Amino acid sequence: MQLTKLGHACVRLRKDDRTLVIDPGGLTPEDDAIAGAEAVLITHEHFDHLEAERLRRALAEDPRLTVYTCRAVAEILGDAGGRIRTVGEGDALTIAGFEVGVVGQKHEIVHPDVPPVENVGFFIDEEVFHPGDAFTVVEAPTLLVPGQAPWMKAPEMIQYLRAVTPRRAYAVHDGLLNDFGLGLLESQLTGEGAQQNADFRRLKPGESVQL
């Protein structure tokens, strides 16, 4: 499986010439983020993970494309018709040739006065876990770990890495950081990776790894 990091929280996964994309939102600048994909997985409704108009255009341009997401996002995209599939925790599906488990229910707390929105994570081929905006613990060999967000602190990222203990962790959710912040994130990841004797780092947008 090939994993390619795109802007912010978006990744492309490719296997046997089939592709799925996770969270091509409003902070993902690549115009071709969805191009050639058979499926798009959306973890939750926030703009940096869901760009509804981009998805509507992609669905109109490619009749084979299907979107899998939580109930709240499915309602937002309801006018896109039957190619919007609602999923929830405990679901296990075959999507574009990948085995996908759905894990998690709620976003982390953003504000004490605002109830958390729905958030589902996607566990791909029992290898890669994209948690969306949550610290859902899954025994995943490869974790797409949130690197920075208004709802998290750096020690929480480290605690999450120690709870999951993946062999590999690649940062996502880094689109709000400037160059100094990205350098600090890389240092935190590689330092914790050295502690756990694991490969923890930030992939640059467009960079790929083979899993």
DSSP per-residue codes, the chain: -EEEE-STT-EEEEETTEEEEE---TT---TTTTTT-SEEEE--SSTTT--HHHHHHHHHH-TT-EEEE-HHHHHHTGGG-TTEEE--TT-EEEETTEEEEEE--BPPPSBTTBPPPB--EEEETTTEEE-SSS------SEEEEE---TT--HHHHHHHHHHH--SEEEEE--TT--HHHHHHHHHHHHHHHHHHTSEEE-PPTT-EEE-
Domains of the chain from N-terminus onward: 2-202 (3.60.15.10)
Q: Which two tokens stand for residue 89?
A: 């925790």
Beta bridge partners of residue 12, listed in sequence order:
4, 21
190-194 — which CB contacts under 8 Å span 24+ positions? Answer: 192/158, 192/161, 192/162, 193/169
Strands 128-130 and 142-146: parallel
What does the pLDDT profile of the chain (211 residues) look like in tens digits? Answer: 999 999 999 999 999 999 999 999 999 999 999 999 999 999 999 999 999 999 999 999 999 999 999 999 999 998 777 899 999 999 999 999 999 999 999 999 999 999 999 999 999 999 999 999 999 999 999 999 999 999 999 999 999 999 999 999 999 999 999 999 999 999 999 999 999 999 999 999 999 999 9
Dmax over CA atoms of the chain, in Å, equals 48
Q: Which two tokens stand for residue 71?
A: 């109930």
What is the phi/psi pair of residue 40, to 5°?
-125, 130
Q: Are 175 and 26 in contact (CB under 8 A)?
A: no
pTM higher than 0.85: yes
